[in-house]
Structure 1
Amino acid sequence: MNRWEGLDEFVAVAETGQFSAAAERLAVSSSHVSRQIARLEECLQTRLFYRTTRKVVLTEAGQTFLQHCQRLIDAREEALRAISDLGSEPKGLLRMTCAVAYGERFIVPLVNQFMARYPLLRVEIELTNRPLDLIHEGLDLAIRLGRLQDSRLVATRLAPREMYLCASPVYLERYGRPHSLSELTHHNCLIGSTDHWAFQQDGRELSLRVQGNWRCNSGQAVLDAALRGFGLCQLPDYYVLEHLRSGALVSLLEQHRPPNTAVWALYPQQRHLSPKVRQLVDELKAGLAQLPEYRA
Structure 2
Amino acid sequence: MQWEGISEFVYVAENESFTQASKKMAISTAQVSRQISALEKRLNIKLFYRTTRKVSLTEEGRVFYQHCRSVLDGLAEAERAITNLQSKPQGKIKLSAPVTYGEQQILPLLNDFMLQYRDVEITAYLSNQQVDLVEESYDLAIRLGKLSDSSMMAKKLSKRTNYVCASPKYLQQFGIPHTLSELTKHNCLLGTIDYWRFNESGKERNLRVNGRLRYNSGPGLVDAALKGLGIVQLPDYYVENYLQTGELISFLDNFRVADEGVWAVYPQNRHLSPKIRLLVDFLAKALV
Pair 1:229-2:218 in alignment: no
SS state at 1:124 partner: strand
Q: CA deviation at 1:241?
A: 2.4
- Matching residue of 1:99: 98
RMSD between aligned residues: 2.5
Q: CA deviation at 1:288?
A: 2.2
Aligned residues of 1:90 and 1:275 also touching (Cα < 8 A): yes
Q: CA deviation at 1:266?
A: 0.6
Aligned residues of 2:163 and 2:256 also touching (Cα < 8 A): yes
Distance 2:90 2:209 in 1: 47
Q: CA deviation at 1:181?
A: 1.1
With normalisation by structure 2, the TM-score equals 0.68
Pair 1:84-2:81 in alignment: yes
* Structure 1 residues 169-227: Cα deviation after superposition (integer angstroms, max 9, x where no partner): 11111112212111211111111232221111111111122211112222122111111
Pair 1:288-2:287 in alignment: yes
Q: CA deviation at 1:87?
A: 4.6
SS state at 1:245 partner: helix
- Matching residue of 2:190: 191
Aligned residues of 2:191 and 2:215 also touching (Cα < 8 A): yes
Aligned residues of 1:219 and 1:235 also touching (Cα < 8 A): yes
- Matching residue of 1:136: 135
Query: Percent identical across equivalent pairs?
Result: 48
SS state at 2:123 partner: strand
SS state at 1:238 partner: helix
Aligned residues of 1:244 and 1:250 also touching (Cα < 8 A): yes
Q: CA deviation at 1:270?
A: 4.2
Structure 2 unpaired stretches of 5+: 3-73
Q: CA deviation at 1:230?
A: 0.5
Moved more, 171-180 or 113-122: 113-122
Distance 2:207 2:254 in 1: 15
SS state at 1:192 partner: coil
Task: Look up the equivalent residue of 2:92 and give its one-letter code.
Answer: L
- Matching residue of 2:259: 260
Map 1:49-64 to 2 at 5 A.
none
* Structure 1 residues 79-135: Cα deviation after superposition (integer angstroms, max 9, x where no partner): x96x93875132222111011111111111111221223232221111111111112
Aligned residues of 2:264 and 2:280 also touching (Cα < 8 A): yes
Distance 1:186 1:101 in 2: 30
Aligned residues of 2:101 and 2:237 also touching (Cα < 8 A): no
Distance 1:217 1:146 in 2: 18
* Structure 1 residues 136-184: Cα deviation after superposition (integer angstroms, max 9, x where no partner): 2111110111111111111111111010110111111111221211121
Structure 1 unpaired stretches of 5+: 1-23, 26-76, 290-296
- Matching residue of 1:124: 123
SS state at 1:190 partner: coil
- Matching residue of 1:17: none
Distance 1:144 1:131 in 2: 8
Larger radius of gyration: 1
- Matching residue of 1:245: 244
Aligned residues of 1:162 and 1:262 also touching (Cα < 8 A): no
Pair 1:158-2:157 in alignment: yes
* Structure 1 residues 22-57: Cα deviation after superposition (integer angstroms, max 9, x where no partner): xx87xxxxxxxxxxxxxxxxxxxxxxxxxxxxxxxx
Distance 2:213 2:108 in 1: 31
Q: CA deviation at 1:238?
A: 2.2
